[in-house]
Amino acid sequence: MKSQHYSEQTEGTWLALEIGNSRLHWALFHGKSLNCTWDTEYLPESVIQQLGDWGAEEQRGRGAEEQRSRGSSIYPFPFPLSPFPFPLLLASVVPQQTAIWQSYPNVRVITLEDIPLNNIYPTLGIDRALALWGAGMSWGFPMLVIDAGTALTFTAADGDKNLVGGAILPGMGLQLASLGQKTGQLPQLEVEEIQLPPRFALNTPQAMQSGVIYTLLAGIKDFIDEWWRLFPDGKVAMKGGDRNLLLSYLQELYPAIASRLIVEPNLIFWGMQKISMSR
């Protein structure tokens, strides 16, 4: 569990949770200021229920630190929380997970209605809408967001905050995993922080890496080229667990594109911040 600096201030403190298809993404806010972020695995339902119990214990005067040592070993916070439970703003693209988080004592689930983009279609992923809103409101529209997560998504809005649309494809991890799972002879590979593989590979793992990486990069370049043809001054922001690896490859293969990218892991949290401020 990786965390940034945490300060001991609790006034107007709230938690933001984005539930992706691979893991949970957390942020702690004091009012509108983002204090720290961290990622965890999905939590067992019993732990989520325990969070409410911890809140009650806290009110009876037991410290969160003590609860952490007594309680479950799966304590989801990189610091003691007190007073607890903080209000939780939740955005999820995993309905089963959304359902089990309803037991959290003070939760508000963000829906597409909360996001002031025009032309949204009803099944648009809330993570895509929030990231686009957070990026556009922070860096300006027109904005194209590339989310290099479980799925790799492109999501764009024009200068009037109208959704232009986007695209969805399997992310790097998913492409490698599906090759391993759906074939008889290909190994299970995971995303590794490796140098660009040889384009024409002479062994199986490198052939899989070459195929996935070079076609992914060519596809990203093609979408960005088309975006700039439509919106020459349009901005491009990239987020998601594979963003840094993809950025390093883009810097090597397409430096002119890489130099114009805004790479920012917290786009969804900026979107949540804007929404929480306008309520």
Ligand X SMILES: Nc1ncnc2c1ncn2[C@@H]1O[C@H](COP(=O)(O)OP(=O)(O)O)[C@@H](O)[C@H]1O
Q: Is there binding between residue 173 and ligand X (CB under 6 A)?
A: yes
125 assigned ligand-binding residue: yes
CB 154 within 8 A of CB 167: yes
- In the complex, the residues that contact ligand PAZ under the rule CB under 6 A are 20-21, 93, 123-125, 127-128, 147, 149-151, 153, 168
What distance in Å separates the CA atoms of residue 207 and residue 212, rounded to the nearest whole number? 9
Nearest-angstrom CA–CA distance, 150 and 259: 25
Closest CA to 194 of 220, 182, 176: 176
Told to check if 172 binds ligand X by CB under 6 A, we report: yes
Within 8 A by CB and 6+ apart from 277, the residues are: 32
Cα 188 from chain centre: 24
Judge whether 30 is annotated as a binding position. Answer: no
Distance set, CA 89 to CA 8, 25, 71, 269 (Å): 20, 12, 24, 10
State which residue has the least CB distance to ligand X.
241
Of 39, 53, 127, 225, the active-site residue reads 127
By rule CB under 5 A, what string of x and - marks binding of each residue 76-115 to K ion? Answer: ----------------------------------------
User: Closest CB to ligand PAZ among 88 and 129?
Assistant: 129
| Three-class secondary structure of residue 64 per DSSP | helix
Asked whether 67 and 54 are in contact (CB, 8 A), the reply is yes
Q: Using CB under 6 A, which of 81, 91, 191, 216 touches ligand X?
A: 191
Q: Which stretch binds ligand X (CB under 6 A): 52-60, 75-83, 198-206, 235-243?
A: 235-243
Annotated active-site residue 127? The verdict is: yes
Among ligand X, ligand PAZ, K ion, none, what does residue 264 contact (CB within 5–8 Å per kind)?
A: none
CB 191 within 8 A of CB 242: yes
CB of 50 to ligand PAZ, least distance (A): 25
Question: How large is the greatest C-alpha to C-alpha distance in the chain, in angstroms?
Answer: 65
35 is in an annotated binding site: no
By C-beta, is 149 or 166 nearer to K ion? Answer: 149
In whole angstroms, give the CA distance from residue 75 to residue 228.
Answer: 45
* Complex with ligand X: residue 242 or 264, whichever CB lies closer: 242
Binding-site residue numbers for substrate are: 121, 125-128, 204
